[in-house]
A and B are shown apart, each in its own frame.
Chain A
Amino acid sequence: MNSVPRRRSRRLLVLAVAIAVLLAVNVAVPRKKAPPYVGVRVLKDLAELATVEYNVTKIVSHQDVAWYGDRKILFETAATVKAGIDMNEIHERDILLQGEAAVTVTLPRPRILLFNMKPEHMKEIFNESGILRSDFNNQEKDALLSQGEKDIRAKVAAMDILERAARQARVLTESWLKKSGFETVHVVFRGEGGQK
C-alpha cells in the first residue's frame, strides 16, 4: 500500500545524492582561463615633435536596465592628447637652401602622437545595482572605460587639434632656424606647395 510514496522518497534521496555529487564537481572544477601572456620589452627610437597638447574630459555613463533590476554607473574621465610631426619623415629633398641665410623646409602633415588617460584623473561618481543584480566588476568597468577612451580618441581627432599642431610646428621651426642664423625661413607642409 505504501510502496508508491516510498519509491518517490527513494527517488528523491537518489536525486539529493546526485545534487551533492554535482555540487562537489562544481566546486572542484577550476575556471578555465588562458595563462597571461607577457610580451617582450622593447626600446624603440622616435623622432617626433609634439607641438600641441589638449586636455579633455568626458563623463562615461552606462545604464543596464533589466526586468529583474537595474545597474547604473557613472565615471568622470580625463585625457591628454598630444599632436605634432614625425621628424623621421623629413628627408634631404624637404630642405631647400637659398644661399647662406634663406631656407625652405617642407614638414610632414601633423598627426596625433600620444593619447594618455591617467588613472589618477578618473573618478567613479555613481555606482548602484539592484538587489537581484551583481555589482559592476573590474572587467566590466575596464570595458566601459575602454569605450570611453575610444570615443574620446574619435571626438578629439575630429577637433582642430591637427590644424593647431601644424600652426605651432611652423612657429617652432621658424623660431629655431632663425636662432640658428637663418634670416629668411619659409615653412610649408607636404601637400600645400611643398614636396609630395
Chain B
Amino acid sequence: MKKILSLLQLAALLAILLLLYGPLAKIGLLPPLPSLFHSGPPQIEDTPVIVQQVKNIAQMFTQTFYDEIVYDTGVMRTPLFQANKRLIFIAKGEVIAGFDLSELSEKSVIRRERSIVVKLPPARVLDVVINPSGFETFIEEGEITFEETKKFHEDARRIFERNARQKGILRNSAAQGRAMFEKFFRLLGFETVDIIIPASR
C-alpha cells in the first residue's frame, strides 16, 4: 500500500511537471515538447531530377503581379465523432502576363523603308506561380489530407489570377509590350513604329 502511494505521488509529480511545461511552451518561453525528440528539420533523400520534356518557346513576359493572401477554409464539418477540420495558410507568389510570340507569322510584320508595323497577339496570363516555399501553414485543425490541401492550393492560384486581372495586369502588360517593342525597333533605326495589340479577353 505504502509503495503504491509513493509511486502514485511520483506519477503525479511527473504529470505536474509536464502540465507546467505545456503552457510555457505554448506562450513560446520553452520549445514545444515534440521538438525535444527531433534531431533537427527533416531532410529529404537525394533523388535525381528527371527531364521529361524540353520545349523551345517564345514568350515575352511584360508584367508581373506579386501577391500574398491568407486563405481560410473555414470550419469543415465532418461526420459525427470526428474532429472538425480547418486550414489557414499564407500563400505568396506571382502572376506573369505577356505575349506568346510563337503566334507571330510573316504577315505580323510589315516594313516600309524606315517604318514598321508589328501585329502582336493579345496579352494574356502566361503563368501563375506559387511554389511550395510560397505556402506557409498557419493553423491546421483536424486531419487534412494531401489531396484536400492541393485543392485549396489550386484555389489560391485561381484567387491570385483573379486579383491580378482585377488589378489590370493585362492592360498593363499590353502597354508595357507596346513600349518595349517600340523602343527595340527604334534602336534598330526605324523612325515610325506602330505596334498593334488586340484587346485581351
* Interface residues in chain A, defined as those with a beta carbon under 8 Å from any beta carbon in chain B: 5, 8-9, 11-12, 15-16, 18-19, 22-23, 25-26, 29-33, 36-39, 41-64, 66, 78, 80, 82, 84, 87, 90, 92, 95, 97, 100, 103, 113-120, 122, 124, 127, 134-135, 137-152, 155-156, 159, 164, 168, 171-172, 176-177, 179-182
Contacts and interface: CB of A to CB of B under 8 A. Distances in A.
A79 to B, nearest CB: 8
Nearest to A39: B68
A41 B15 contact: no
Contact of B44 (A19, A61, A103, A179): A61
B106 A46 contact: no
Nearest to B67: A41
A171 B108 CA distance: 18
21 contacts: A5-B2, A22-B22, A32-B28, A33-B138, A36-B90, A42-B66, A45-B172, A46-B98, A53-B53, A58-B49, A62-B44, A97-B189, A100-B189, A117-B132, A119-B154, A137-B137, A138-B140, A138-B144, A139-B140, A149-B133, A181-B111
B16 A18 contact: yes
B199 interface: no
Given A43-B63, A55-B51, A122-B150, A64 B42 contact: yes
Given A103-B188, A119-B157, A41 B16 contact: no
A70 to B, nearest CB: 13
Contact of A51 (B22, B43, B48, B56): B56
Nearest to B144: A138
A15 B5 CA distance: 12
B150 A119 contact: yes
Interface of B: 1-2, 5-6, 8-9, 12-13, 15-16, 19-20, 22-23, 26-28, 34, 37, 41-70, 87-90, 92, 96, 98, 101, 104, 106, 108-109, 111, 116, 127, 129-133, 135-140, 143-144, 146-147, 149-150, 153-154, 157, 163-164, 167-169, 172, 176, 180, 184-185, 187-189
A90 B57 CA distance: 20
B132 A12 contact: no
Of B15, B58, B69, B137, chain A has the most CB atoms within 10 Å of the CB of B58
Nearest to B176: A45
A8 B9 contact: yes
A116 B128 CA distance: 8
A69 to B, nearest CB: 11
A56 B131 CA distance: 14
